[in-house]
Amino acid sequence: MAAYPEYPPDQNDEQQDYLLTSLKDWSIAHGLAVRPTTAYVSAETDPSGALATTAPVTLFPSLFPRVCFEQAKSVAQDYNELYSAIASDEEWLKQTVEELVDIDDFIAQLWKIHLAVKQEGYVQVTFTRPIQILDLIMIEPLNLGLFRSDYMVHTDPANAQSRPCVKQVEFNTIASSFGGLSTQVSALHKYLLTVGAYPETLSSIISDAALPESTSVPGLALGMAKAHEAYGSSKNGLPTCVIFLVQDPERNVFDQRHVEYALNRNYGVKTFRLPFGRVLDDTKLDADRKLIYSPPHTPSKQFEVTLVYFRAGYSPAEYQSQRDWDGRLQIERSAAIKCPSILTQLAGTKKVQQVLATPHSPHLKRFLPNEARAAAVLKTFAPIYPMDKSEAGQEARKLAQDPETAVRYVLKPQREGGGNNVYRKAIPQFLKETPETHWPAHILMEMIEPPAQSNVIFRNGELQKGGVICELGVYGACLWRDEDGKGKRKILENFEAGYLLRTKGSGSEEGGVAVSSYDEYLSYQDAADGIPGRFRLGRFCVSN
Ligand code: ADP
Ligand code: MG
List of residues 6+ apart from 516 with CB closer than 8 A: none
502 labeled part of a ligand binding site:
yes
Q: Are 380 and 75 in contact (CB under 8 A)?
A: yes
pLDDT of residue 483: 86
Which residue spans within 28-133 are E strands per DSSP?
33-34, 53-54, 57-58, 62-63, 127-131
Q: Are 530 and 52 in contact (CB under 8 A)?
A: no
Measured in angstroms, how far is the CA atom of residue 170 from the centroid of ligand 1?
Answer: 7
* DSSP 3-state percent helix, strand, coil across the chain (nearest 5): 40, 25, 35
Q: Give the Cα separation of 417 and 314 in Å (integer).
A: 8
Q: Are 470 and 450 in contact (CB under 8 A)?
A: yes
Q: Give the residue, out of 170, 350, 411, 448, with the most ligand 1 atoms within 8 A of its beta carbon, to mutate for a pocket test.
A: 170
Q: Give the Å distances, CA to CA, from 105 to 110, 174, 413, 486.
A: 9, 18, 12, 25
Q: Give the Å distances, CA to CA, from 103 to 28, 388, 417, 482.
A: 46, 12, 20, 30
> Does residue 315 have an active-site annotation?
no
Q: What is the pLDDT along the chain (544 residues), one digit of tens a residue?
A: 356 767 888 899 999 999 999 999 999 999 999 999 999 999 999 999 999 999 999 999 988 999 999 999 999 999 999 999 999 999 999 999 999 999 999 999 999 999 999 999 888 655 556 666 555 555 679 999 999 999 999 988 787 777 899 999 999 999 999 999 999 999 999 999 999 999 988 888 888 888 999 999 999 999 999 999 999 999 999 999 999 999 999 999 999 999 999 999 999 999 999 999 999 999 999 999 999 999 999 999 999 999 999 999 999 999 999 999 999 999 999 999 999 999 999 999 999 999 999 988 999 999 999 999 999 999 999 999 999 999 999 999 999 999 999 999 999 999 998 889 999 999 999 999 999 999 999 999 999 988 888 889 898 999 988 888 889 999 999 999 998 777 789 999 999 999 999 988 876 545 332 221 122 222 222 333 333 344 555 444 333 2
Q: Are 164 and 541 in contact (CB under 8 A)?
A: yes
Measured by CA distance, the residue closest to atom 23 of ligand 1 is 447
Between helix 105-120 and helix 90-98 the angle, nearest 10°, is 150
Q: Give the Cα separation of 106 and 471 in Å (integer).
A: 27
Q: Which of 398, 283, 257 is nearest to 338 (CA)?
A: 283
Q: Give the Cα separation of 411 and 226 in Å (integer).
A: 38
pLDDT of residue 519: 22
418 labeled part of a ligand binding site:
yes
DSSP result, 116-140: HHHHH------EEEEETTEEEEE--
Q: Which residues lie across from 445 on neighbouring strands?
A: 384, 410
Q: Are 48 and 444 in contact (CB under 8 A)?
A: no
Ligand 1 atom closest to Cα of 446? 23
Measured by CA distance, the residue closest to atom 9 of ligand 1 is 418
Q: Which residues lie across from 146 on neighbouring strands?
A: 477
> Does residue 273 have an active-site annotation?
no
Helix (H, G, I), strand (E, B) or coil at 39: coil
Query: What residues does ligand 1 touch, defined as CB less than 6 Å away?
Result: 150, 152, 169-170, 382, 410, 412, 416-418, 420-421, 445, 447-448, 471, 504, 510-512
DSSP result, 260-326: HHHHHHHH---EEEEEGGGHHHHEEE-TT--EEE--TTSTT--EEEEEEEESS--SGGG--SHHHHH
Measured in angstroms, how far is the CA atom of residue 473 from the centroid of ligand 2?
Answer: 9
Q: Which amino acid is at 229?
A: E
pLDDT of residue 439: 98
> Does residue 177 have an active-site annotation?
yes
**Which is it for strands 489-505 and 453-459: parallel, antiparallel or unpaired?**
unpaired
Measured in angstroms, how far is the CA atom of residue 260 from the centroid of ligand 1?
Answer: 28
Q: Give the Cα separation of 456 and 228 in Å (integer).
A: 41
Between helix 179-194 and helix 253-267 the angle, nearest 10°, is 90
> Does residue 148 have an active-site annotation?
yes
Q: Which of 400, 387, 407, 409 is nearest to 432 (CA)?
A: 400
**Which is it for strands 409-413 and 33-34: parallel, antiparallel or unpaired?**
unpaired
Measured by CA distance, the residue closest to atom 22 of ligand 1 is 447
Q: Give the Cα separation of 492 and 373 in Å (integer).
A: 19
pTM, two decimal places: 0.93
Q: Which of 227, 196, 187, 121 is nearest to 477 (CA)?
A: 227
Q: Give the Cα separation of 109 and 142 in Å (integer).
A: 23
pLDDT of residue 510: 52
Q: Give the Å distances, CA to CA, from 173 to 234, 439, 507.
A: 28, 24, 28
Alpha helices in 358-449 (DSSP H): 363-367, 371-378, 391-401, 403-406, 427-433
Q: Which residues lie across from 489 on neighbouring strands?
A: 482
Q: How far apart are the first and last CA of the chain?
A: 12
Helix (H, G, I), strand (E, B) or coil at 219: helix
Measured in angstroms, how far is the CA atom of residue 296 from the centroid of ligand 2?
Answer: 34
Q: Which of left, alpha, beta for 268 (phi over 0: left; psi -120 to 50: alpha)?
A: left
Measured in angstroms, how far is the CA atom of residue 429 from the centroid of ligand 1?
Answer: 20
CA 529 to centroid of chain Cα atoms: 12
Ligand 1 atom closest to Cα of 412? 6
Measured by CA distance, the residue closest to atom 17 of ligand 1 is 510
Q: Give the residue, out of 177, 510, 524, with the most ligand 1 atoms within 8 A of its beta carbon, to mutate for a pocket test.
A: 510
> Does residue 483 have an active-site annotation?
no
Q: Are 250 and 310 in contact (CB under 8 A)?
A: no
DSSP class of 43: T
